[in-house]
Structure 1
């Protein structure tokens, strides 16, 4: 929702696997749309990244930026995030709160590292702390023109 309020994006699609948090988000967004019309760009799905339905996956297709607060992801969710980011053809940028590969290099065998390259570490304000936290911005690897 914050992205919809502070940027000129066309749509913001969120995924939350905890039903209570997804429902709370939907209620808060719906209630604030009168005062903040840009919130009408936000869609929240109750889903698990590890087992997204085709309908949810289809809704994400065509997106160009992926943001994930992956700080507390379980290893299987982390792997699902890597797989999703590596296979979503429309993505141009990926921003995550926990780095995907701490040893990223051009010869890294991880699929994510063959598709994405680190662009910049960004210090961002977060709702759960008064301190700035790092976010990691990746851009798609540009294939050489042959």
Structure 2
């Protein structure tokens, strides 16, 4: 194992920040390449954000929910990797840890869908209503 680098003189060092950002970017790339659910969640977030822009509604609640889901998916991936490292054999406690992390993603996803519906359904209904009322 490599020894930890000596701490920078300043916690606000650009070199330190850039190095940390590199580690974070590596985690994002690894998660993107190995986790199909992460890729699906990213694309659903892009679609939901695009709908917000197209319908001229504030994308803030949708973006916050997307960030929450994607962040929890990253934490879930980390929890799974650590659990597999610590307990390569099946163990009931390892299952609890993995299931709980996956459950956190599920809860955030369900809430995000509800927020998306609350934000997007009213403007969608306003667009559809006139088209339906003008038909014979």
Q: TM-score, normalising length from structure 1?
A: 0.23
Q: TM-score, normalising length from structure 2?
A: 0.25
The structure where helix makes up a greater share of residues is 2
